[in-house]
Structure formats: structure tokens, C-alpha cells
Structure 1
Amino acid sequence: MELLLRSTRVVTPDGTGPAAVAVTGGRIEAVLPYATPPGGAARVEDFGDDVLLPGLVDTHVHVNDPGRSEWEGFPTATRAAAAGGITTLVDMPLNSLPPTTTVAHLRCKQAAARGRVHVDVGFWGGALPGNRGDLRPLHDAGVLGFKSFLSPSGVEEFPHLAPGDLDAVAPEVAGFGGLLIVHAEDPGRLAGAPQPGGPRYADFLASRPHDAERDAVTSLLAAVRRHGTRVHVLHVSSARVLPVLAGARAAGLPVSAETCPHFLTLTAEEVPDGATEFKCCPPIREAANRDALWSALATGTLDCVVSDHSPCTADLKVPDFARAWGGISSLQLGLPAVWTEARRRGHGPGDLARWMATAPAALAGLHTKGAIAPGRDADFAVLAPDETFTVEAAGLHHRNPVTAYAGRTLHGVVRSTWLRGRRIADHGTPLTEPTGRLLERA
């Protein structure tokens, strides 16, 4: 034993309670009774009544590096992650140049990240029209799965899959046991909706109707039935998707789904006109819809809560919802944002660990991450659950000081973050030089 971490509230797969966690060589050696004395020269850290959570795993992060690193880069994104209790993130394949759609492009991405990350980082590949032949090589090179869009992505270099393209990609991914993660909005529904323009949030919301998500997920699940592909539905914002997902799961289809902190904590009714820091696709919807998403988390219809951190430079957030870049910058704030609403609804720290660490780690096949259990990496987030703070955008570590949470008072202060038994952030401040590793599919 090199390190012994104590808390009266340690969150493990068996529940939450007093315990001591023994760490050796960057791995969890044992979860022991609270009063267990340290062995030999082991160092002791006692967190009192603060909650010891597994380090969070965020499987939906747009780092944009290389190529658009003025939007975000690996150093700033991973500093923000560390400050917010995230010890592992998985980078999305688009918004960087080049996108991660070939092995050569993956190597370019890895070169941009190597030696510059404060937390562990894995990579999704991209599935595009015409790159079916690149998917197996990317899988063999270590990507954790493949991202695709069923509607336009917003960047020319990452086109969406038409129905015929999906029927080419899905059996290919199924053939090598891969995972397809999908932005599911129906392009026909989007084209037929009123087109947004100007500062009114209500106009933007009408342009991304609920049925666009429902119809796209229905089409996606039909492809799953045809081909047997394991799929994950990204950033579910509409409650109309939930019965479709529940039915698919009841039928035994290999499908999972996520939602995001902004869909669980923010509502359409409170978005000011012109406030395009709230713009994302799919959109933040009504309060009643938010309640349904919480119910789906409680019942297991939704598995994960991940950030979909999609930043840009401040000048791209013009006060016109048709022209502004769509994306919420929230990497550092996901844990307190979700906890603020979760505690109000009667959820506990064990729910946070399941939604924000265990389930995302399992989704991405990161079997040493996501739980405080023997053999796992000694990755931890220490949370003071009853303390509050007010969000100041200038104090966040992601590259551009834009966030929809500015001025909000949130519950839950991240006291410290630990990566493989080493404290990497303290009270919101990253402490060390970059020590994160680049992860590949096991």
C-alpha cells in the first residue's frame, strides 16, 4: 500500500458509506473498512464527510485540436476536465482538421494530444459516406467506436449518413463487433420545420422539433434490427424518444443512450432571446420535457450523462440563433450542474457515479475506469456536496470564456481530482504538468 484514502462517504458498486481505499502502483488495491490503519509508509488522505466518487468519464467532448484549436485545445480542455472531477474523456472525431476518419488522421490527432493532456484521453472514429473501408483499420488502430450523423453536422468535412449510407456502415461495424454512436435528428423533419432567424429562442426551438429526434431514432433502430449493430444514441433531448428506446431495450436490441447536463438543468422557458450561449442541437427544451428525462434516467431508459462540450470562439456566438455556432461549453461544470438538480429530486451520489462514470466507461469499453473497486485505476473526484458557488465564466479553464451557466449558483464543489493515485487538481486548479495517457480500445 502506497496511499490510503478515507471518507465517510465512499461511492462503490456496493453502495455509499465509510471506507478506506488502498492504492498501489496507480491502481486500487482494496476497499477496506474505514478504520483500517495504513500499512508501512503509506500516506493517508482523509476527506472527512466529502464524497469520494470514481473519477468521471466524459465520452462526448469536442476538443477541436488540431485545426480549430482556437476553439479548444487538448491542454485547455483537459485542464477544465481535471478541475471538474473528470479523469477520462473521449474526443469526438469532428470539428478538428482533419477529422478522425482514417488511421492517418487518427495519428495526427494523437500527435496533437501526446504530452499535452492532464487527464486520460481516448478517441472516437468517424463513419462518413464513402469511408466504409477505413472503419476496420480504425478499429484495429484503437478507436473506441464510430460517430455518425443522420442530419447535417454543421461542418463540411463531416457529412451525414443518408439511409443508404447507414445500411453500408451498420453491417460493417457489426462485422467486427464495433460500436456506432449516432447524432439522431431526421433531416426531412428539420427541412420541413420553420427555419430560424434572429434572436428569438422560440423560433430556434421550433426549427428543431421533437419529432426530428423521434423519427431518426426509429429509423436507426430499424437498421439495428436489420444488421445487429450495437448503437448508442447521443445527446437525447426529447422525451418523445424515450418510449422508442424503452421498447427497443425491452425487445433486446443492443442500444444505449445518453443525455447531457444542459438538458437536465436548463429549460427553454428561461433562455433569453439573443442568448446564443444556450444554442445547441438538438436544443434545450421545455421544463416538462426535462422532468421526463430525469424519469428516464431513474428507470434506466437513459444510461449516461455526458457533457457534449462543443466550444467555439466568442465571436461565433452572435445573437442570431440561425447564424450562431451551436454548442454548450460545460466540461468543468457538469458534475455540480447535474448534482444541483439531482439532489433536489432525491437522487444520491451513487446515481451520479453510475450516470457519469460507470456507464460511460462501460460504453467505451474502458474496463479499468468508472468505479471504486479493486483492480481499477485509482481515479477519483472528491465532492463537497452541500457547498455552493456561483459560476464566473472567466474563472473556467476551457479556452473561451463562454458558458450557459454563467451567473448560476450550483451545489457541489469539486475539492480535488486524482488520476492513478496522484492529485491533479485542487479546489478547481490543476496542479501538475500534463500526466494523462492516450487510451486505445482494449
Structure 2
Amino acid sequence: MNDIEFDLVIRGQRVLTTAGIVPREVGIIDGRIVALEPFGNNLSGREVIELVDDETLIPGLVDSHVHVNEPGRTEWEGFASATKAAAAGGVTTIIDMPLNSIPPTTNVDALKLKRASAETQSFVDVGFWGGAIPGNTGDLRALHDEGVFGFKCFLLHSGVDEFPHLEVDELEKDLAEIASFDGLMIVHAEDSRAIDRAPNPEGDIYESFLHSRPRGAENVAIAEVIERARWTGARAHILHLSSSDALPMIASAKRDGVKLTVETCPHYLTLLAEEIPNGATAFKCCPPIREASNRELLWKGLEDGTIDCIVSDHSPSTIDLKDLKNGDFGVAWGGVASLQLGLPIIWTEARRRGIPLERVVEWMGSKPAELARLQRKGTLAPGYDADLAIFAADDAFVVDADKLYHKNHITPYQGKTLSGVVRRTFVRGTEVDFSEPHGQLIRRGTA
């Protein structure tokens, strides 16, 4: 291939490939990786980037759990701000959740509105989940045919009235429907009855909020998802696992051949209930950040493969909805904004545990891509999209919320020192410059 001139060549001593971190030269044409050759082959390119000694070229990450909220609640977050945040964090593909926007993505017309909002202002590639709510079983196949990556449902109040939750029998009905076309159901698994019986979360005491969302509520709901998936043969995915209690039954279901996958999030893997100050509503999310002992078991679940992937669950709101003035956990919006920070958050904790960068990128890149059945994302190899990030793993920075790209500058990571800096990001071989959006909208089966 030495006689070919590539659009872009990136070469260096540290390139994260399917063979690990090795010296390589990457040749890119028309937004695809077409050559991956030993370092020193001197591939020719119209543009050539030489990595410096502290830089690793990694595949762009895939975040399959992002709430963009546009249209309808664009003051919470929008496609321009969210996708800039993604790119700054080395995330080159996001899949947008169907709720918090108005209308929610529960039929094809709503999906078209979402796409129209995203089309001209996305700095990374964007796909969409559909929503499963009471009464829209008949819309699921049409949404699937229009290219959504699957369907999200809640088993308790979603937090917004326009996206009502399913009872478990309704869940089973929808699972049977999507099994007929090999769709995927992704589930916010907390049991509404268990939450109703739990203590009230009012006030500024974090422990009171924690008691209001007990692990048992997750465990009961996850058990229901497992059995309904078993009975219907449908693919099911557990969103944002926070209860480590559920790991044994998840592992058992997987051994039994239930088509089950599971994600967790940076906040459950790095933050601790014991360290959250009273009134610190930036930390409020549902299910909640739990105790140190729980966190350790989540890491074990990742390492042994019971948990499949790590995604952000970037769920921002306006500052006033976080009720910072009163710090009332019963009133504040529940959601953590961390889309830009996920890689350094996880890398900081992983390296402390002796976990290599390759595993982190697998959990945050190739595994979410596999979940969504993205054929050309999350891996640095010939044939894949040239979605790449230059990552300085040993560099460090202090989180300053005002310098983050997401729209409302609040984050529970404010003031934390994190390892790992994303220096440059490329989407389909074009560097993200944060002024001209080049991201594309993607559909199931075509990306």
C-alpha cells in the first residue's frame, strides 16, 4: 500500500488495536480505516499526524445512553452542546434516549422531529432509541423499520409525565412483539411498588434519599425483566445497574441463555454514598450512588463479564431544577451530567486498580457498539469508521464545570483531579474543530 496516498495517516508507538497497544500506522480514505500497518512502513498521506511519546491513539468511544432533550427541553441540553461534550471526551457516537424531549420518541413522527433537530448541529454521529410506553405496541415495528436501535421503557414513573411506565405484563407483551423482529428492549429496572413503600426522600440528607431508592427495588425489577425475557426469548438490556445484589441472578440468567446484557455508569463505579455531602444534589441520580462495598462488587462484575459495558447516562437539567439553593433531594432533578468526563473518570479509577486502558476502551467502545449492533464503530481496525481519539493517559487535569461543553455547568466531579486528557478527536477521519459540525445521523443496520 506504499504507493497509495491516504487522506490521513496517523502513526505512533501507541495505537490501540485488536492486538493491543502496538506501534502502527493508520491509513484513512473517505472516512474509513483502510490500512493498519507496522510502524516504519511510511504510509503516504495528504495529512500525516505523528503521535508524541505520551499519546495513545484509541478508537472513538460509543455512549449508548445519552439524554439530549431536544426538541422540547432544549434549555436542559441540545444536540450542539451534547455532541461537543461527547467529542471533547473522546466519544464519537452517541445514541439518544427517547424521553425528556417533547414529544418523546414513541412513534415515527416524533423520531422524524428528533432527526430534524439533530441533523445540522451534531459534532459526532448520533443514533436514536425508540420508547415503549403503554399503548404504543403497534408503533414498535414501524420505529424499528425506521432505524431506531431498540426501545426504552421504565418500570416506574420516568420523571416526566409524557413518558409513562409499563407494568410488567405490558413489558412482557412488548417483549413478545419485539422478539418477532429481533428487537432490543432496554429497561430502567426499579420496581414502582417497592419505591412506593420506601421512605420519603425529602430533605438534604443524602442517606435519606438513598433509603428512598433501595437496592431491593432494583433487584425485584431485574428479576422480572429476566423472567419475561426468558419466557419471550426477546433481547433485554438492564440500564444503569447500581445494585450489586443483582449480579448473581444476572450471571445465572446469562448462563441459562437468557438474551440479557447489562450496563453501569461512571458515577456508580467511582463515587461513594459515604462521601456525598448533605444537600449536594449534583450527585442525585436514579438509581442512586451506593456504598463503597457495593462499588467494589460492581467492579468485579465488570471484570468477570457479568456487566457488559460502561455508559454515561448523561441526564442534565437546568441548574434551578437541581435545587442547589435548598439542596432538597426530594425536589431536585435526578441525573448526572458527565458525558465529557466518562473516559478520564473511569481511567483514573481503573489504573488505580491495575486495569489496563485496553479494557476501559472495550467497556466504553466496542461493547456498547456490540450492544447496539453497530458494525463499524468502537474498534480500530480496517473496515471500521475512522472514529478516533488521541488520548494522553498520563496527563491530568482538574474538573472545572464552567469549561465543560454541556449546556448547564454543573457536575458532581467539580474540583476532582482526573488522569487522562483527550487531545484530539476524529469522526469519520475529520478532526472535530468544535465550530463546524460534521457528525452524521445513523440508523440501525447501516452503521
2:424 to 416, 422, 427: 416
| Cα drift, residue 382 of structure 1 | 1.1
Which residue in 2 is equivalent to 1:441?
A: 444
Matched residues in 2 for 1:422 and 1:137: separation?
A: 33
Which residue in 2 is equivalent to 1:407?
A: 415
Matched residues in 2 for 1:280 and 1:251: separation?
A: 32
| Cα drift, residue 2 of structure 1 | 2.1
1:313 to 318, 321, 324: 318
One-letter amino acid of the counterpart of residue 207, structure 1: S
Which residue in 1 is equivalent to 2:3?
A: none
- Does residue 54 of structure 2 align to residue 25 of structure 1? no
| Cα drift, residue 301 of structure 1 | 0.6
Matched residues in 1 for 2:422 and 2:376: separation?
A: 22
One-letter amino acid of the counterpart of residue 407, structure 1: G
Q: Is the 8 A contact 1:51 1:349 kept in 2?
A: no
Matched residues in 2 for 1:384 and 1:243: separation?
A: 36
One-letter amino acid of the counterpart of residue 9, structure 1: R
Q: TM-score normalized by structure 1?
A: 0.97
- Does residue 114 of structure 2 align to residue 109 of structure 1? yes
Which of 89-98 and 192-201 deviates more? 192-201
Matched residues in 2 for 1:91 and 1:204: separation?
A: 27
Structural mapping, 1:364-379, within 5 Å = 364-379=372-387
Structural mapping, 1:41-440, within 5 Å = 41-49=45-53, 50-318=55-323, 319-425=327-433, 430=434, 432-440=435-443
Matched residues in 2 for 1:35 and 1:180: separation?
A: 47
Gaps of 5+ in 2: 1-5
| Cα drift, residue 42 of structure 1 | 3.7
Matched residues in 2 for 1:343 and 1:217: separation?
A: 30
Q: Is the 8 A contact 2:25 2:43 kept in 1?
A: no
1:7 to 9, 12, 19: 12
Q: Is the 8 A contact 1:269 1:286 kept in 2?
A: yes
Q: TM-score normalized by structure 2?
A: 0.96
Instruction: Give a deviation string over 1:313-332, Cα, whole Å, max 9, x none.
Output: 00011110000000000010
State the 4+ residue runs in structure 1 displaced beyond 4 angstroms.
none
Q: Is the 8 A contact 2:127 2:442 kept in 1?
A: yes
C-alpha RMSD over aligned residues: 0.9
Matched residues in 2 for 1:293 and 1:416: separation?
A: 31
One-letter amino acid of the counterpart of residue 317, structure 1: K
Secondary structure (helix, strand or coil) at the match of 2:103 reads coil
Gaps of 5+ in 1: none
Q: In percent, how many aligned pairs have the same letter? A: 54
| Cα drift, residue 188 of structure 1 | 1.4
Instruction: Give a deviation string over 1:402-425, Cα, whole Å, max 9, x none.
Output: 101001000001111111111115
The alignment of Structure 1 onto Structure 2 pairs a total of residues equal to: 436
Q: Is the 8 A contact 1:6 1:48 kept in 2?
A: no
Matched residues in 1 for 2:377 and 2:23: separation?
A: 21
